[in-house]
Amino acid sequence: MESEATMHMKHRHEKTARRSAVWLAAAVALGLIGCNELAEPPHQETPDVHDHTPEPDEPGPVVVLDAEAPRPATAAEVAALAVARADLEPPPVPAAGPSIQSSASSAMAATCTIGFADYIGLLILPNQAGNTFALPPYYIQGCGSGWVHVKENDVARYGPSWGSGYGHYHLGYEVGGYCNPGGGYGVWIGNTCVRLNDPAAHPRELYSHLGDEWIRIYVYKSGVSEMTFDLRRITVNPTRPIRLWFRKASGAWYVWNNLGVGTWNLAQYSSGIREVLIRGAGNSALPYGFDDVVVRVN
C-alpha cells in the first residue's frame, strides 16, 4: 500500500500543469482578456504571513507545513455568525454509498481524502461538471457513515458577509486545462484539445469563481444534518492564499487568516468540528483553489 507521502507526491506532480490555465481562466472571468486570447499568468500574490511556502514546481517530496494556532473569532464575528440560519434542506443521498447506517457502522470513524476524484461524486453533478462548472447539488463524497458536502455557502445561512451567490464553483481537470473540442468536453494535452469520453472519470481540483466566493464543507447523513468530524489536512493550490474558518461542535469559531500555497497539517487544532468556511485571503478578486482535503468522520 502506498504511503500518504507517496500519494501526495504523485498528486503534486500531476497538478503543476494547470497554473497557467487557472490564471488564464481568472483573467477571462475578470474581463482582462478575451476567451480566445493567450496571456502569461500574472504574478502570484505573495502570502503576508507564511512566506516560507514551498515552490510547487520544485521536484522532491511534498513538504507538509504545520499550521500555527488559529485565532478565536472576535465578539463581533461571533455575533454575525450566530444570526438565525435558514432551514436548509440537506442534499439528496446519492443512489450508491452510505445512507441510513446501523448504530455499529455509524460508530466507526473513517479517514478520507476529498480529492474531487470520486466517480459518483462527479457523476451526480449536472453534466458531470464537464465544462468545469460545478452546480447544485455540488460535490458530495461518501466517507464512513456520512457524506462530505463541498458547496457554495449561500447568503441565506449567515448573511451576505459570510456567503456568496455565484451558483457554482469550478472543478478543473488535473490532467490539463479545459478546452472545447467542438462538441462535448476536452482538456489541453500539450497543444492538442483532447475530447473526454467520460468527464466523471477524470480527477479534479476546486477553484472558486472569484476570490470572494465562500465554500462550505460539512458532513451529514440521513436524519443528521451536521455530523462531527476532524479537518486534518488541506492543500492550497498555486493560485493565492485562503482564509479558513471552522466551527467546533461547542459552537466556538476559529480562523486561519492566511494559509499560503502548500499542504497544511491542521489536525492539532481542527478536531471535533461541524463545518468549514473558506474564501480567498485578502481582497483580491482573483480565484483561489484547494484540493486533497483530509477529513476524519467520527
Which pLDDT value is given to residue 32? 33
Q: What is the DSSP string of 201-223?
A: GS-EEEE-SSTT--EEEEEEBTT
**Rounded to the nearest 5°, which phi and psi values hold at 17?**
-75, -10
pLDDT, mean of residues 161-185: 94
C-alpha cell, 50: 507564511
pLDDT band at 66 (very low <50, low <70, confident <90, very high): confident
Average pLDDT, the chain: 79
90 belongs to a structural domain:
yes
What total number of domains does the chain contain? Answer: 1
* Cα→Cα distances 199→29, 93, 109, 288, Å: 22, 21, 31, 22
Is residue 127 within 8 Å of 178, Cβ to Cβ? no
For cell 483530509, name the residue: 294
47 belongs to a structural domain:
no
C-alpha cell, 11: 498528486
What span, in angstroms and rounded, lies between the C-alpha atoms of 99 and 97?
A: 7
- What is the span of the domain harbouring residue 82? 4-42+52-297
pLDDT, mean of residues 244-273: 95
Task: Please write the tens of the pLDDT for every residue from 90-139.
Answer: 666 665 544 433 333 445 789 999 999 999 999 999 999 999 999 999 99
Which pLDDT value is given to residue 158? 87
Which pLDDT value is given to residue 90? 61
Task: Please write the tens of the pLDDT for every residue from 212-224.
Answer: 999 999 999 988 9
Long-range contacts, 184-189 (Cβ 8 Å, 24+): 184/130, 185/130, 185/131, 188/21
281 belongs to a structural domain:
yes
